[in-house]
Amino acid sequence: MGAFAHIGMARKPANGDTQPTSYGDAVQQLEQLVTGLESGQMPLEELLTQYQRGTELLRYCRDRLQAIEDQVKVLDDAGALKPWALE
C-alpha cells in the first residue's frame, strides 16, 4: 500500500456513525453539530455524544487537509519540484 492508501478507506468511528464521504460533507456535519451544541437544548448525554462526533469529524478534516498538503508540490526557480510551503 502507498503512503496515501488510508485516504480512501472508511473508518467507523467509535459511536457508530460512519465517516463522511468527503471533506465538504465533514464540514457540513460539523456546522450542523455546532448549531445543535450552541442551541443549548441538548441533554447532557447527547451533548457529550455530539462533542465526541465533532472531534472525530475534526480529525477527519485535519487528516484530509494534511494528505492534500503532502501532495501539493511547486516548482522552484530552477524548475525542480519541491514541497509547497506557506510563506
pLDDT at 68: 82
**pLDDT at residue 64 greater than cutoff 70:** yes
| pLDDT tens by residue, 33-53 | 999 989 988 899 999 999 999
Contacts 24+ apart (CB under 8 A), 30-38: 30/54, 30/57, 30/58, 30/61, 33/57
Domain boundaries, the chain: 17-83
Report whether 33 contacts 54 (CB < 8 A). yes
Q: Which fold, 17-83?
A: Helix Hairpins (1.10.287)
Give the whole-number percent of the chain exceeding pLDDT 70.
72
